[in-house]
Amino acid sequence: MDIKRRSFIKGIGIASPLIGGAFGYKKAIADILNYDPEKAFGFSENHVPMNAANLCPMPIAISRSMARFNDDLDFDMSGSNRSRIVSIKENAREGIAKQLNVKTNEVAITRNTSESNNIIAQGLSLKSGDEILLWDQNHPSNDVSWAVRADRSNCKVRYFSVPTFTNDIENITDLIKKQISPKTKVISFTHISNITGFKLPAQQICEAVRGQNKNIHIHIDGAQTWGLMDVDLNKIGCDSFSGSSHKWYMGPREIGLLVVKEPRVENIWPNIVSIGWGNSKDTSADGAKKFEAYGQRDDASLAALSETVKFHEEITPRKIEHAATKISEYIRSALIDINVKFVSSNNQQFTSNVIILEVLRQNRTQLLKKIFNEAGIILAGTGGLRLSPHIYNTTDHADRVVRAINNNRDLLG
């Protein structure tokens, strides 16, 4: 390890854990999170997740919280106890609103990003001839869903493309503005691409769109953002924003987020109307809560979401972003050192914790298996070879995965 990388480790504040030690990686993680190592994360050293773009482990405290709430419900299913546990999600809603700098009644707790994207795509008021502008790197739930809606409402879908290796934010905003026409009613894009890792300049895009047409609805798919970045939606300026708890937010599975700014709520139809909507066609739900009127939910998961919010509040979103970015930069730097080909941009304006290397499609499964067998690291084959590290990953994990990639570079193609 050279001096540059030694200095980098020192700057991160994460020591490489001693394999076989009392706590190993748990102590290294706990050191940056100021957590009891036994409450950090429960994965083993030979099954290390580095696939946050798809699924994150929950901190042990949150897993135990879910089990505790489930036991509580099974022990006492009285109406009063069920209401007590369900009401805990309101603490989560308040905490999420504060973290994202939005109003509490602008937050809906859904089941995942796909559902949240579809609430917007299928529920937004559109008519024949209206145009929908999408990024061509959107997730299917923020792409194909719009195609289905366009077919139903006789709308037109248009796309904008961003060259992966662009080096100018203004070029991106200019090419989007050129695609806007008087018929454009909605622009929907993924904040961070799951297939290239490219991070769009969301705030600058919103400002550019507003400067051209203030009435266009701007939706951002934040599946790769919520829980990773310190997001200020008031500052970004979008109309709606989606996310999933099970990804970077490190919370319960099958819990999602949809933020809809107050003036826009009325113009979006719900996908489901059940308990929580009210007893007439005019909803009694407050603001965005009308989008979560599903009836029975997984109450233990909803209650445990509150524990996840506390986890983020204790560490702070800013510190989480700082620590996660540092480990990502460490990995990116090491990969550059071994001279592999990137799908992802290495321009710091557009980089993210989703790092993707070029790999022939036919080699991806074999390469994933070899890396897992040699390094004990779990990656993904989306877009190439995808590494998406988070705060629970250490420099030891990074060194192991880079070494395994280098050992198997013949499979990169």
pLDDT along the chain (413 residues), means of 10: 40 36 55 66 92 95 92 93 90 97 98 98 97 97 97 97 90 96 98 97 98 96 98 98 98 97 96 92 94 92 94 92 95 97 96 97 97 98 97 93 97 88
pLDDT at 86: 87
| Residues whose CB falls within 8 Å of the CB of residue 79, separated by 6 or more in sequence, listed in order | none
pLDDT at 277: 94
C-alpha span between 115 and 138 (Å, rounded): 15
The Cα-based distances of 188 to 121, 196, 223 in angstroms read 9, 17, 13
CB distance 97 to 104 below 8 Å: yes
Please give the angle made by the CA atoms of 250, 350 and 158, to the nearest 5 degrees.
95
SS3 192: strand
pLDDT at 61: 87
Tokens standing for 341?
């080909």
Please give the sequence-ordered ranges of beta strands (E in DSSP) within 166-321, or none if there are none: 184-190, 217-221, 240-244, 256-260
As a residue count, the chain comes to 413
C-alpha span between 363 and 86 (Å, rounded): 47
The Cα-based distances of 318 to 95, 228, 347, 349, 350 in angstroms read 15, 9, 21, 18, 18
Pick from 110, 353, 143, 100: which is nearest to 245 by CA?
Answer: 110
Pick from 15, 294, 240: which is nearest to 23 by CA?
Answer: 15
C-alpha span between 303 and 16 (Å, rounded): 35
The domain ranges of the chain are 3-58+316-411, 67-313
C-alpha span between 263 and 65 (Å, rounded): 36
Tokens standing for 211?
């400067």
| Residues whose CB falls within 8 Å of the CB of residue 390, separated by 6 or more in sequence, listed in order | 50, 52, 56, 228, 248, 250, 324, 327, 353
Pick from 383, 384, 400: which is nearest to 334 by CA?
Answer: 400
- Beta bridge mates, 110: 256
pLDDT at 38: 61
C-alpha span between 144 and 134 (Å, rounded): 10
Tokens standing for 68?
């505790």
CA dihedral (341, 344, 346, 349) in degrees, to 10, reads 170
CATH topology of domain 3-58+316-411: Aspartate Aminotransferase, domain 1 (3.90.1150)
CA max distance for the chain: 68
User: Does 3-58+316-411 match 67-313 in CATH topology?
Assistant: no
Question: CATH number for the 67-313 domain, one of 3.90.226.10, 3.40.50.1860, 3.40.50.970, 3.40.640.10?
Answer: 3.40.640.10
Which run of H or E residues covers position 368? Answer: helix 364-375
C-alpha span between 376 and 382 (Å, rounded): 19
C-alpha span between 40 and 25 (Å, rounded): 10
Percentages helix, strand, coil for the chain (3-state, rounded to 5) are 45, 15, 40
Which run of H or E residues covers position 224? Answer: none
